[in-house]
Amino acid sequence: MNEQQEKAKFRQAIDHTLTGLEGDPFLYQRVTAQTEKGAHVMKHRKWNMGLVIALAVMACIMTAAAASGWFGGYVNWNGEILPEERADMLPHPTAAPEMSVDMSSFRLAQELVMSAQEMEIVQVTQKNVFGGESTTSNRLEKHPDTYEAFLVLLAEAPYLPVPAFIPEGYEFSDCQLVYDCRRDGEYVLTSTEVLEDGSRVERYRVAEEDALLSGYSLSFRRNGDPEDYLAVYTRLYHQTDPAEHHIGVNEDQTAQVMAVAGMDNAIAILSDTHRTLTMRRVLPQKVDYLYYDLEEVRYPDSYSEVQIDVMTRQVDAATMADMFSGQ
């Protein structure tokens, strides 16, 4: 079999297997609406899915493929490479409950979660093949339409740093604010529904005064260059041991420890095509809140810290650091 025949058979196999994946007839309308009117016309709420997947991520099996060379290694905040024997000892996630629910049920759960209104949590509980239950849920979120509106809301959360400036040429694209519930508040169950297939759908809200802003994502684009973006992700954590935090570094990336005023740690992960600056600041006072999984989480020995990721293709690490220096 020659190369062209191989390619033809390859494509045929893929296309036959993925016949259920076809283009969206309304994609053109969404693309032109998003680009010309600045409207948010998303078929899916992207960050919602990212967070739902993050739940699954925390409970996934580390595969042989991942162990054999998915990334070059791990470094800690000091840029020290984790020895192989210790890398093997990093917590290995267990099977994802979402993987043990059939795809159509999981898709239903995703659609229900996507239907959540602003500042509403939808939690879907389904039976899995192991005789237990699996849950899928979103986070409490707001989506300001402008950077100015974003800044107004961030004023409520002085513990979350915001960029001191935006590099020249970059324009606001979109943002997402994530909320949890203050420790002395509660997630209020507003409705429960059991579907025909046995799935249980619960909806929760948090009183406005109990909602605590615990993170955000923020993205910018530079005019004329579609692949030139700048993204910021910030998150409040309960933390116990920062030495346990390790950052994966791919084979084509280098890790560079940086000093950023006002941050306890900063490390840049650099490659020819991509740059990430991850920073960490310990908060002087603990910001206590209930975590999104709707069960009270107790960390009596924990402290609060904020982690900030800045990601971009074009902006250099020094500029990314300057954006948050002294914040």
Partner 1 sequence: MSVVKGPDSEREITIRQMIDENQTVLLRMCYLYLHDVQLAEDAVQETFIKAYRALDSFRGEASARTWLTRIAMRTCMDMQRGFWFRRVERRVTPEMLPDRTQEVEDGESALTLAVMNLPKKEREVTLLYYYQDMTVNEIAETLGVTQPTVSYRLRCAKEKLRTELERRDDP
Query: Interface residues for partner 1 in 121-180 (CB under 8 A)?
Result: none
283 binds partner 1 (CB under 8 A): no
- x/- site string to partner 1, residues 215 to 254, per CB under 8 A? --x---x--xxxx-x-x-x-x------------x--xx--
Could you tell me how many residues of this chain bind partner 1 (CB under 8 A)? 79
The only residue of 40, 44, 86, 298 in contact with partner 1, by rule CB under 8 A: 44
**Residue 27, SS3 per DSSP:** helix
Of 215, 206, 204, whose CA–CA distance to 175 is shortest?
A: 215
Q: Which residues contact 188 (CB under 8 A, 6 or more apart)?
A: 204, 205, 206, 207
Of 91, 77, 90, 199, whose CA–CA distance to 136 is shortest?
A: 199
Residue 102 tokens read as 């059939």
23 binds partner 1 (CB under 8 A): yes
35 binds partner 1 (CB under 8 A): yes
Residue whose CB is less far from partner 1, 17 or 285: 17
Of 184, 180, 204, whose CA–CA distance to 192 is shortest?
A: 204
Residue 24 CB, shortest distance to partner 1, in Å, is: 7
87 binds partner 1 (CB under 8 A): no
Residue 227 CB, shortest distance to partner 1, in Å, is: 6
**Cβ atoms 249, 255 nearer than 8 A:** yes
68 binds partner 1 (CB under 8 A): yes
Distance CA 327, CA 325 (A): 6
Residue 117 CB, shortest distance to partner 1, in Å, is: 19
